[in-house]
Amino acid sequence: MQKSSVARAEQTLAAIQDAGDEGRRIFTQVYEQSALAAARAADERERSGIRLGPLDGRIVSVKDLYDIAGEVTTAGSAVRRTAAPATQDALIVQRLRQAGAVIIGKTNMTEFAFSGIGINPHYGTPGNARDATRIPGGSSSGAGVAVARGLSEISIGSDTGGSVRIPSALNGVTGLKPTQCRVPRDGAFPLSFSLDSVGPLARSVLDCAQADAVLSGQPLGELPARTVRGLRVGIPRGLLFTQTDTAVQAAFDQVVAELSRSGCRVDDMQLDDWCAAPFKLQEKGTLIAAEAAYIHAETLATNPGAIDPFVLARIQRGETIAASHYVSLQRARAELQQSLDARVADCDVLVLPTVAMVAPRIDSLASADAFNQANMLVLRNTSVFNFYDLPAMSLPIQVGAGQLPVGLMVVGHRGGDRDLLTVCAALQSGLQSLAL
């Protein structure tokens, strides 16, 4: 029998407290009183035979870029410590509360959500759930660690270039980046208007599907039953498989072999023209940098030294991007999205490693060069699919005892989020290598 919501909330709050300094690096805020009140209300509803939905009484955390009424939204930055408190909850927070979720706290993040590493010099860096000396992945660093350590059942993150999928992969949990328009961003501190998306991290595809239904305001219903047999799976061999750690490649190959044995149609696909295009087109400046420079213009003009130097350098590149380059990027992106859609129309999903490497040690990234090289590689595979606005999930691959987590990225069709969730549920239940 499942424990009551109050019992689970109390257990979670005690675990956060027992984690000491590490708990304070994972969470920037813990809402003990309001969480216990929400848990008591959920238990009372259950006793009365009332259920608000699948998240009723579930323990949920939210990334510290979503507004909570009366609280300062720091977005991981010291600059925002003195910002005015939010006047109302972000829309997704409102939806979570209406669904009966128990919001346990706010999770830490990379400053302004602008790196895939997860290091934060202002509020501390949460250690990887498997090995605290290693990076958690970002930018939803606390979100991934919280789920992996059992400090929240579901975490709500954001994903602009991989910020849900990267910490999911590096900490061994499941994460969803939806099609961008699926979940509203009202009350979320932005990084990139063009690329930001809102998604959950959890232990299973089913938990992600339930959270996604609440976040998107869509009816959940049952995910259609589907087996692995007969799936049409494409593998974009080439650029996105270069510089891949041996351990990551071996884990991926294990999954591909099992897919083939299970009756999937698995085909290598030549997609390098599309996979390389986001990087080639943005050599003179990225959409994210251009939009971040606009968002942070006041801070860049008045107090740039308060920003993490590694993050500051990335934002400042946006100040030099010409309007003509920005417009040409947007037009090229729209055209490429249509051509890639046509190219992969015959596949149910694409699969590839979420991140090309396992989590490196935090102290190995102290220099700007080491940080930038790792950040580029960590973001490489995931960011391609933000550019194309395709929904994607990271599923944990089962690896040997003592090995660091590895993620399998499963990419669907734009707007086909429910189909992607259905396929990923079949993969997670049907493949031994993904049944964690």
Show which residues are catalytic: 63, 139, 163
HEC sequence for 372-414? HHHHHHHHHHHHHHHHCCCCEEEEEECCCCCCCCEEEEEECCC
Please report the DSSP string for 2-49 in residue order: PPPHHHHHHHHHHHHHHTHHHHHHHEEEE-HHHHHHHHHHHHHHHHTT
Return left, alpha or beta for 149; rule: phi > 0 is left, psi -120 to 50 is alpha, else beta. Answer: alpha
Q: How many CB atoms lie within 10 A of CB 241?
A: 17
Provide the β-strand partners of residue 349.
Answer: 233
Query: What length does the chain have?
Result: 436
Rounded-to-integer distance, Cα 272 and Cα 310, Å: 29
Residue 360 three-state SS: coil
Residue 283 three-state SS: coil
Rounded-to-integer distance, Cα 356 and Cα 243, Å: 7
Provide the β-strand partners of residue 40.
Answer: none
Q: Do the beta carbons of residue 145 and residue 125 sit within 8 Å?
A: no
- Type of residue found at 95: R
